[in-house]
Amino acid sequence: MTNKVLFLSHEASRTGAPIMLLNIQRWLRRHDSISFRTVTASPGDLSREFATLGKVDSVEPGDLLYRAMRRFDMHHFAQSNHLARLQKDLSKDRFGLVYVNSIASGRLLERLPIGDCEVLCHVHELAGAIRSVGLTNLAALERRRPRYIAVSDAVRDCLIEDFDIAPHRIEVVEPFIPELEEDSPNAEEARLGLAHELDIPPDVSIVCGCGSIETRKGTDLFIEVARQVAGGVSGRNVQFVWVGGAPDKVKTMQRRLKSEAPAAQVRFVGRKADVDRYFAASDVFLLTSREEAFGLVVLEAARRNTPTICFDASDAARRFVEPDAGFSVAKFDVAEMSRKVIEFLSSPSLREQMGRAAKRKFETHHTPGQGGRAIASLIQDAMRRKSGAAPGENLIGFREMRTE
């Protein structure tokens, strides 16, 4: 029985599920002797970071020639050859477990030679997203009868109620992110740097949003909140900043701003590797998602003492912020969300009080010491089931299991 794990990810983008996988792998690398390899559907911003932890491949080639060929629909032969080489290479490996990092990653099970390995699937999606990425992904997973790791109670309930997954096959492990590095910029340094970057006054109030630019993330609602806040405050300079989104989507939103909300102070800055400094510089974080399984961004804000305002459509975020780490407002009530933004901006003491409470929740429940250990235990349990090892037998050699 091998203790090697194959991680499959639908993306290597700087977005929630791949970032969560990177956090898991970093914890595993520090705390146990597990050997692992990662295959992503295509290369992305995080590919190099995955490569610092173990071998990384992608189903789709990442070289410039392939990308040029794809633009002219001439890439199929190159992709076929690349996949054949990857399949041959993977067939030489012996894996004890395949860890599928999202429902969207399920399709990779059908393209790679993984034999009869035990499968774990980490689910970051709710029903809308699962249907959006294609139910064929879930079908590919269900043919393997995997155990599921849900990032929230809402995801667990979705799997049970919407997709008839048996409750005993699901465990809930809430997300985690690393604690701040010692050399991380403080809030004042981050604010001055952002003011210089955006050419805004250093004393401006900053309201941050973060994520891909799409209907599900409520980017349009973010703009509407900015428009209403601009009309509801006087004598205060407020800047709304959205971090994330593909370059073409950023351009689309910039055009939309000019035509629909010219008075709203909104900047779309696109994808950033150093997103933490935006949270550090912000007074308030807005989670405007129409559907959100949890949202690592809420934890990233909390880590920086920044309170969150969310819609109650995001049940996990609502539970995190209530009753003392931010505000949850009724589903898509933009007017109420705008009023809460103004309330925060008008009361620094309330903002600081709730920001401190948010950080305490992060430190107590969402650091690698809690989540990493839980994930590692589920990996070990899955390997033990497959191998027939006795309960308690350590198959992956944890070196240290302390809380960080």
Residues in the chain: 404
Q: Cβ atoms within 10 A of the Cβ of 76, count?
A: 10
Asked whether this chain's domains 5-178+367-387 and 187-365 adopt the same fold, the reply is: yes
To the nearest 10 degrees (0 to 180), the angle between helices 64-71 and 76-91 is: 140
**Residues contacting 157, CB < 8 A, separation 6+:** none
CB atoms within 10 A of CB 243: 21
For the chain, give every domain's residue range: 5-178+367-387, 187-365
Whether the CB-CB separation of 344 and 205 falls below 8 Å is answered with no
Task: Give the separation between CA 255 and CA 258, rounded to whole angstroms.
Answer: 5
Strand, coil or helix: what is 137? Answer: helix
Tens-binned pLDDT, residue by residue, of the chain (404 aa): 568 999 999 999 999 999 999 999 999 999 877 899 999 999 999 999 999 999 999 998 865 555 555 665 555 555 678 888 999 999 999 899 999 999 999 999 999 998 889 999 999 999 999 999 999 999 999 999 999 999 999 999 999 999 999 999 999 999 999 999 888 889 999 999 999 999 999 999 999 999 999 999 999 999 999 999 987 776 568 999 999 999 999 999 999 888 877 767 899 999 998 999 999 999 999 999 999 999 899 999 999 999 999 999 888 999 999 999 999 999 999 999 999 999 999 999 999 999 999 999 999 999 998 899 999 999 999 988 866 655 555 555 554 444 33
User: Rounded CA gap, 369 and 208, in Å?
Assistant: 28
pTM beyond 0.75: yes
Domain 5-178+367-387 has CATH 1.10.10.10: no
Q: At what angle do helices 16-31 and 368-387 cross, to 10 degrees?
A: 80
Give domain 187-365's CATH architecture: 3-Layer(aba) Sandwich (3.40)
CA distance 174 to 320: 11
Paired strand residues for 266: 240
